[in-house]
Structures are given as C-alpha cells and as structure tokens.
Amino acid sequence: MKTFAELGFPGRLIAVEGLDGSGKSTQIYLLKRWLELQNLKVYFSEWNSSDIVKAATSKGKKRELLTPTTFSLIHATDFADRYERHLVPLLRAGYLVLCDRYIFTAFARDVVRGCPPEWVRGIYNFAALPDLTFFFKADLEVSLQRILDGRPQLKYFEAGMDLRLSTDPYESFRIFQGRMLEQYLAMSTEFNFLVLDANQLVEAQQNMVRELVGRRLDLGKFRQAERLPARPSKETPKRQKTVVQEVAE
C-alpha cells in the first residue's frame, strides 16, 4: 500500500485516529480551521457520511441485523462510496483532505469483532494510505470518562454489545474500547502513526499538530487560486474576522 504522495496525487490526505473520547475530532476541527484561514484548499470528511449506504447501515444497526461480517462489509461499502466519489476526485484536484477516522478504524474494529485481519485488510487495499496519520493516544480511563460523562446512553454496536462481552453496556464498552486500543497500538509502527499524547490540554496538542503538518507538508502548494470576485464586496474579510474571533474564544 502506498500513500497519495507516493502515488503521485497532487493532494494530501491527513487522517486522525483514536478511541471515542480521545479528543481527535476537536483536534482535526482546529486543524481544519487553521488551514482554511490560510486560504488553503481543504475538505473535511467524516466517517459516516454517504447518503445512499447510510440508510442500509442505520437500518442494520437499529434492527440489530448485523453480524461481524456484514458490519464490516457495509462499512467498507460506505467507505468505498466516499473514497471513490469524494476523496479521490478532491485529491486529484490538489486538495488537503482531512479524515476523522480512516481505514485503521475498520482494521481495529472489525478484528476486535472477530473478522480475520488479512481479510479486512485485503478488502480495503483499494484505498491509498494517508500522507499523515495522527493517533491520539489517551489513557483508556480518560477517554472512557469523557464519553461516559457526556452521553450516558450507549448505542448497541458502539458499546460492542454484539460481542456479548457483558450484559452491562458500560462494562461492555470498557472492554471493547480496551481491545480497540490494543489493535491501534499494534498497528502504530507499521502505518507510521504520529502518536500524540491526548491526555494533554487541547492547545498543547493542537500546537504539535500544526507544527507537524507545517513541517511535513508544503502548505503553500495548496493555496486557493486567486479568483476575480463575482462582484465587488466587502463581506469576505468581515466573515473571516468573525471566524477568527470565534476560534479565539
């Protein structure tokens, strides 16, 4: 498997991975804002965002129809849809694509569910590797607390209830997340994860993220082309100002 850079794509893909509650979504959001404010071509993609496959996935989850195999396959379908319709064209067009979770989530999750690792990896081998992968490594207890504090109602598959680890959703979630963490750590070296200490403060982590991105990528290449404005307007700088204020807050 090769990265997008190795495959000659003009765009670059940055992925964040980590357990639920590791703070990765906050970090990638702040990274996105930073890149956007530099007027770069940025696209942000969430894990479950395809409309067509979404219906089937949510039906399967709601009615608890999914087995480890079909769970894996339906998520692969969803990923392929986003990959072929959004990620690849944008990367061809020279965008910085940010992914909140990428194939490594599937590698960890499906293997914890009992799917053979080679089978899962084989299915995803149509996808190129990210150019940068950040792994937010938090203590298991810290990420568990973040989730369990904020949202006490755990969903069936999210808690790994289908694995029959425990009849108690909270206990099941703990065991499931612990196994996910083991899988992530086992992949870390193989896939060149940039491991960040997610127990630190948000700002400290973001500092590292921005520094690494700035150092590894030639950001100047991704600047939006200057275009003639459709009509003279003073709205654009005004809007940006509000966003800056928002981030500063």
Partner 1 sequence: MKRTARNRIVVPYRSDRTFYGHGIPRVDLQQLAGKLIVVEGADGSGRSTQIARLVEWLEGCGHATVQVGLKRSTLVSEELDKAQTGNILSRTTLSLFYATDFADQLENIILPALKAGFIVLADRYIYTLMARDMVRGMDEAWLKNLYGVALEPDTVFYLKVPPEELVQRNFAKNMSLDYWESGMDIGLSRDMFDSFLQYQHAMEKTFKYLQTIYGFTIVDGMRSADAISAELQKKIEAVLVGK
Give contact residues for partner 1 (rule: CB under 8 A): 52-53, 55-56, 59-60, 65-70, 73-74, 76-77, 80-81, 83-85, 113-116, 118-119, 122-123, 125-126
Nearer to partner 1 (CB atom), residue 60 or residue 94: 60
Nearer to partner 1 (CB atom), residue 58 or residue 240: 58
Handedness of CA 69, 70, 75, 78 (dihedral sign): positive
- Selection from 161, 160, 188, 82 nearest residue 127 by Cα: 82
Shortest spacing between CB 63 and partner 1, in angstroms: 8
Shortest spacing between CB 82 and partner 1, in angstroms: 9
Shortest spacing between CB 75 and partner 1, in angstroms: 9
Strand partners, 129: 3
Amino acid at the residue 88: V
Nearer to partner 1 (CB atom), residue 61 or residue 146: 61
Nearer to partner 1 (CB atom), residue 77 or residue 166: 77
The DSSP bridge pattern shows strands 12-18 and 132-137 to be parallel
Shortest spacing between CB 53 and partner 1, in angstroms: 7
Nearer to partner 1 (CB atom), residue 70 or residue 145: 70
d(CA 138, CA 10): 33
Amino acid at the residue 105: T
Contact 77/127 with Cβ under 8 angstroms? Answer: no
Handedness of CA 165, 170, 175, 181 (dihedral sign): positive
Shortest spacing between CB 164 and partner 1, in angstroms: 11
